Amino acid sequence: MKRKEVLDLIEGGENLRCEFKRKFSSSEKIAREMIAFANTKGGVILFGVDDNKELVGVDSEKAEAELIKDTGLNYCQPPLDFNIEYFDLNGKEVVVVEIPESDNKPHRIQDYSNEFDINKAKVCIRVNDKSVLASKEMVRILRARTNNLNLKKYAIGPIEKSLFNYLSESERISVKELSAMVNISERRASRTLVKLVRANLLLIHTKDNGDEYFTATT
C-alpha cells in the first residue's frame, strides 16, 4: 500500500472496509475486528489513528505488530491471512493491517473447540462501520457459501408461498415474523429462510445492531 492510499483511507473515515484504532487494546477485541473483515469483504485496520481521523501514532510499531500477529494466528479460528505495513505520517507511526476476504469462512474467535459449535461460536461480520456478531442464519449461509452448497433446486410449498405473498406487501421479514405468521418453530423458520437464501430466492441483511431480516431477490 502506498502512503497516499493510507492518507486517502484516513480522509474517507471508518466504513465497511476501514477501521481506526488509537492503539492495540486486547487480543479478543482486535480478533473481533479482523474476523469481521475476513468474513465479509476484507478491509484495513489502521493503528495509531483516532475515530475522528486524528493521527496519534503508536508507541512501538514492532510491539504493536507482534500483538497483531499473535492475535491473527492464535485468537482467530481458523487463523487469518493478513499483511502488516508501517508508515510515518507527519511524524506519527501508523501500523496498517490489511485483511483480505477469506475463502475459508466463517472464522470465529478462538474457543479451543475441535468442532464448530454454532451455538457457542463467536462469528463476527462487518456492517457499515461496525463489527457485529453474526446470527446463526448468517453463519449457516457463510458455511454453505464456503462449501459451494448453493441449492439449485428448491421445492416451493405452502410456507414459502405464504412468505412470498407477505414479502410482496411488506418487503422484508424476520425469523420471528415468519414463525408467527405460519405457526412454525423459530428453528424451522430459520432453516427455511437460510435455504431460500442458498437457493438465491432471498437476500439476507444485517442491521447495525446485528439483527437480521430477509428480502426477495429482484
Tell me: the pLDDT tens digits for 64-122?
Answer: 999 999 999 999 999 999 999 999 999 999 999 999 999 999 999 999 998 999 999 99
Q: Is the pTM of this model over 0.85?
A: yes
Question: For residue 177, what pLDDT is reported?
Answer: 96
The CA–CA distances, whole Å, from 107 to 48, 124, 132, 188, 209 equal: 26, 8, 13, 25, 20
Task: Return the C-alpha cell found at 18.
Answer: 476501514
Question: For residue 47, what pLDDT is reported?
Answer: 97
- Name residues of the chain where pLDDT drops below 50: none
Question: For residue 51, what pLDDT is reported?
Answer: 93
User: So what's the architecture of 143-216 in CATH?
Assistant: Orthogonal Bundle (1.10)
The residue ranges of DSSP E strands in 48-201, in sequence order, are 76-77, 83-89, 92-99, 108-109, 124-127, 130-133
Task: Return the C-alpha cell found at 29.
Answer: 477485541
Q: What number of other Cβ atoms are within 10 A of residue 106's Cβ?
A: 25
Fold of 3-133: 3.30.950
Question: For residue 34, what pLDDT is reported?
Answer: 98
Mean pLDDT of the chain: 94
Q: Are 75 and 27 in contact (CB under 8 A)?
A: yes
Task: Return the C-alpha cell found at 177.
Answer: 415474523
Residue ranges per structural domain of the chain: 3-133, 143-216
Residue 97: which of 81, 109, 85 has the closest Cα?
85
Question: For residue 114, what pLDDT is reported?
Answer: 87
Question: For residue 166, what pLDDT is reported?
Answer: 95
Q: How far apart are CA 216 and CA 146, in angstroms?
A: 22
